[in-house]
Structure 1
């Protein structure tokens, strides 16, 4: 495999994949947190409006409180913030390695620069995959 093929087919592909996963997790994290904040802020408003004529608001407040708890649980369970940061970190690390290689900057200023690039990039990807597998196994132990 030539350096150009590796960069195009492996490195750029992985940078794009981690970038997309980072954005997806960021959107879910921020969206759910905004929803959680809005629901939580609405509870005092509805409580202040409860009278004998508006007793149904107690049910609405209860449903909103349950929604806040469910959203908080989902954010914690699926670790959207942690995944967002981890995927962004990997994407930026891979970009950094690519730019060092493209500019022939240390450690890529030697004759075996391409092999060094492959080793370092595959090391980053392998480390992330190992971390993911470990986290997945821990989740299964806790829930299974």
Structure 2
């Protein structure tokens, strides 16, 4: 397949930059919201524990808060929002860096084959992230089984 530089930059590079940017922001938002809830709930426990001696139903409330905190932390551990946020942001910024280095023909792009170098580097970055994602999911699921 032979595509032009402009087509590659728009349809592949920009598309990937936008995808990683959106995914990074989404993961960051979810991570911060859930951690904020955990922080508020954790801070409320000492307040409610002080009320248990006067009102026994506060013991139930504290128990529910504890279960909620545990559930949220477990969900954060499974979904890896924090790790994804950092990883996606890093890849997005790396792709932007490659784009601007290419457009200004600086660094490794000071060559006649600069478009070829760009494609190889961008595809390597994207491929590496895909392999990392597959390995992470394979490890979390205890290995992928056939059938």
State the TM bucket, normalised to the shorter chain.
over 0.9
TM-score, normalising length from structure 2?
Answer: 0.94
Question: Deviations along 1:52-84, whole A, 9 cap, x unmatched?
Answer: 4x1111100100010111111111111111000
Which residue of structure 2 aligns with residue 134 of structure 1?
135
Residue of structure 1 aligned with 2:45, choices 43, 46, 53: 43
TM-score, normalising length from structure 1?
Answer: 0.96
* Structure 1: tracts of 5 or more residues without a match: none
Find the aligned partners of 1:107 and 1:140 in 2 and give their Cα distance.
39
Q: Give the RMSD, CA atoms, in angstroms.
A: 1.2
Which residue of structure 2 aligns with residue 63 of structure 1?
64
Between the two proteins, the alignment pairs up a number of residues equal to: 142
- Superposition deviation, residue 106 in structure 1: 1.6
Which residue of structure 1 aligns with residue 105 of structure 2?
104
Find the aligned partners of 1:42 and 1:105 in 2 and give their Cα distance.
54
